[in-house]
Amino acid sequence: MRMEQRGLSGKAVDAGKAVVSGKAVARRIGLGPALATGTLILALAAQTLAVRAETVIVSHGISTFGDLQLPADFAHLPYVNPEAPKGGELSQWAGGTFDSLNPFSAKGLAATGASIMLESILTGTADEIGASYCLLCSSMEYPEDRSWVIFNLRPEVTFSDGTPLTAEDVLFSFDTFRTKGLTDFRTVFNEQIEDAEVLDPHRIRFTFKPGVPTRDLPDSVGGLPIFSKAHYEANNLDMEETSTIPYLGSGPYKFDRMDIGRSIVYRRNPDYWGANLPINIGQNNFDTLRFEYFADGNAAFEGFKAGVYRFRIENSSKSWAEQYTFPSVAAGHVVKKSLPSGAKASGQGFVFNLRRPNWQDPRVRQAIGLMFNYEWSNQTLFYGLYARINSVWENTWMAAEGVPSPEEVAILQPVVDAGLLPAELLTEPAVMAPTSGERQLDRANLRKASALLDEAGWEVGSDGKRRNAAGQLLTLEFLNANPQFDRIITPFVENLIALGIDAKLENIDPAQYEARTRNPQYDFDIVTDGLSSTYFSGSELKQYYGSATADVSVFNVAGLKNQGVDKLIEVVMAATTKDELTVATKALDRALRAEGFWIPQWFKDEHWVAYYDLYEHPETIPPYTLGQTSLWWYNADKAEALRAAGVLK
């Protein structure tokens, strides 16, 4: 559940004006169809009196804190080009392979974009944090305490085959997710949702369980992808299994064709029901979206040079600094550009598998972290282009800084007093990634790491390798499916060998990597992964860092189980104002960083893009997305000029 926090917004109305039909009320309070008319009238009167006491908000969207940025009658999103032409193809690359079109199963490798056909009731924007607007709905209703929500669906919504999307499809999608969705997702979801009820063909109500924080829940259920019940059943689909049959959705793109494992194409639906909605004006501009698969980044780069695909997001500092010197760049046929990004850092780092005994001792993890020389790597390998990550909320106001504030201490104190977190959290500065010198092997850090391992019982033998009292060798295997990381991991391995650890790099293919890093195998010591978070975090933190889902979650790669962290997650979920949420998130950030289950890597506050000069973008890129598939467009005149020059075939 990648839920953001939402808040009050919209127009308050008398609940009596928003009461559902008598039939729906009777169903909700358990009255049968044969009930006498007089009894039904009394029941309706009682129901009306009960709900009149609460104020119901009717709105075109919902915001976590404060008002929505866009009014109900907005013409288009502020960052789009409303005159953007439609047409052409956006082609990009993807790594590895795929064998499934089911993006919701832990089995198999889903194709890039496999969920692009699906829409949700609510949708977010790229310049506003914590806000969602009606997409499949025309309006939504909810009380001030957010204990329930009603979505009024647009009657004109159709799936891409022309069949209508109704509240029954919403209910079916919801029921399927909470019975067949990823185990960690449905575990958390079912703790929060009491019931879902179809009120009429275009009206559905979700009721939330008493006693759980409800700040995020209207947005959470509104963010579920909706698919066709009839299509799912007719094709005997199973959300838990791989499938080469795509879901039938209502989105602007639909599945077109694929060469399984090698390429996949999605085509814009010319009959898309929502093409003229204000929130879609200037978006979804390409006729087709194509993804070409390559075994590794080097092959993909050569494919780009040859024009196999024409839009590339560069993720290699070496390539960015050295390799864009081929003739098409020099001639101006390929554009190389840095675009600003205000997005939160990815949380990328080396992540330990805490399910293995060797990595449960924090001294061992700290010692290993001391041997990664980021400063040397950044200057020698990354051309000084990156900044260090320290926090799960890096590049946001949520990241903990310095010593904790009195407000943070007030949150941490009860958890520390209960013995669930170390007392140092109350007085010490937030944990920062270790720094190193200019040489690959920092001798000062080597001495610190050696002392930590000695203290943890891993002593150096006559062969220079470390063993515990039982004679077991301290080994560490880096599991890697990206050959571009070899040049980064290899020096790290060399430093660890100097420390006496039997370290090695194990390169495997993406399919093996997926199998070994997921339940039930979890067959790895350490991998590169991104620690997840959102700007306004909530119950999704239970999937990312919670004990209850640690052994089944695809997001909690480390398998972190810490009761203190669990308690702090509950505090974050219960925050009712932005200030409360900020303080609670900073306290949680301190606890996560103190656990030391990752070695933070790096990030950049730019998008590095290269593309054949036939694509254009809005003058101002929104802060939280590059938006190439939705906001950019195809210039047919430029494309023809490239063909005339022999650049395009």
Domain chopping of the chain, boundaries: 313-343+607-649, 349-603
Sheet of 253-259: strands edge to edge? 89-95, 288-294, 263-268, 253-259
CATH number of 349-603: 3.10.105.10
In the chain, what percentage of residues exceed pLDDT 70?
92
| 3-state DSSP helix/strand/coil % of the chain, to nearest 5 | 30, 20, 50
User: Is 480 within 8 Å of 507 (Cβ atoms)?
Assistant: yes
Q: How many Å is the Cα radius of gyration of the chain?
A: 27
Question: How big is the chain, counted in residues?
Answer: 649
Give the Cα separation of 213 and 196 in Å (integer). Answer: 18
Q: Lowest-pLDDT range, 371-385, 489-503, 540-554, 609-623?
A: 540-554
Q: Give the β-pairing of 602-603 and 387-388.
A: antiparallel
Phi, psi dihedral angles at 526 (to 5 degrees): -155, 140
Rounded average pLDDT over 10-16: 30
Q: Which residues pair with 384 in a beta bridge?
A: none
* Cα separation, 68 vs 131, whole angstroms: 7
Average pLDDT of the chain, as a whole number: 91
Q: Which two tokens stand for residue 264?
A: 């996949």
Q: Which two tokens stand for residue 331?
A: 């001639």
Cα-based distances in Å from 521 to 354, 464, 548, 565: 13, 32, 18, 25
Write out pLDDT tens, residues 192-240.
999 999 999 999 999 999 999 999 999 999 999 999 999 999 999 999 9
Angle at 636 between CA 635 and CA 641, to 5 degrees: 100
Average pLDDT over residues 250-254: 98
| Residue written as token pair 């075939």 | 649
pLDDT for residue 38 is more than 70: no
Higher pLDDT, 142 or 649: 142
The answer on pLDDT for 614 being more than 70 is yes
How many angstroms from the chain centroid is the CA of residue 530? 10
What pLDDT, on a 0 to 100 scale, did the predictor assign at position 24?
30
Instruction: Provide the whole-model pTM.
Output: 0.86
Q: d(Cα 289, Cα 468) in Å, to the nearest integer?
A: 55
> If you search the block for the tokens 């907005």, which residue do you land on?
74
Question: What pLDDT, in 10s, does the model give residues 492-543?
Answer: 999 999 999 999 999 999 889 989 998 888 999 999 999 999 999 999 999 9
> What's the whole-number mean pLDDT along residues 377-390?
96
Cα 179 off chain centre by:
21
Q: Which two tokens stand for residue 637?
A: 């005149």
pLDDT score at 13: 32
Q: What is the mean pLDDT of residues 240-258?
A: 98
Helix (H) or strand (E) segment spanning residue 11: strand 11-14
Question: What's the DSSP call for residue 262?
Answer: T
Residue 33 has pLDDT above 50, yes or no: no
Give the pLDDT of residue 53.
56
Please give the distance of CA 7 from its chain centroid, rounded to a whole number.
Answer: 20
The arithmetic mean of pLDDT across residues 593-606, rounded, is 96
H or E element in which residue 194 lies: strand 193-200
Compute the distance between CA of residue 633 and CA of residue 32 in angstroms, rounded to an integer.
Answer: 55
Helix (H) or strand (E) holding 603: strand 602-603
Rounded-to-integer distance, Cα 344 and Cα 396, Å: 6
Inform me whether the pLDDT recorded for 550 exceeds 60: yes
- Counting residues of the chain whose pLDDT is more than 90, the rounded percentage is 87
Query: The dihedral of CA 92, 94, 97, 100: what is its sign?
Result: negative
Taking Cα atoms as reference points, which of 181, 267, 191, 192 lies closest to residue 224? Answer: 181
For the ranges 38-47, 242-251, 303-312, 559-568, the lowest mean pLDDT is seen at 38-47
Distance between CA atoms of residues 504 and 296, nearest Å: 21
Q: From residue 9, how far is each of 36, 124, 143, 535, 574 by CA, in Å?
A: 40, 15, 11, 19, 19
Predicted pLDDT of residue 36: 38
Tell me the one-letter amino acid at 30. G
Check residue 23 and give its pLDDT. Answer: 29
What pLDDT shows up at residue 31?
30
Q: What is the pLDDT of residues 410-455, one digit of tens each?
A: 999 999 999 999 999 999 999 999 999 999 999 999 999 999 999 9
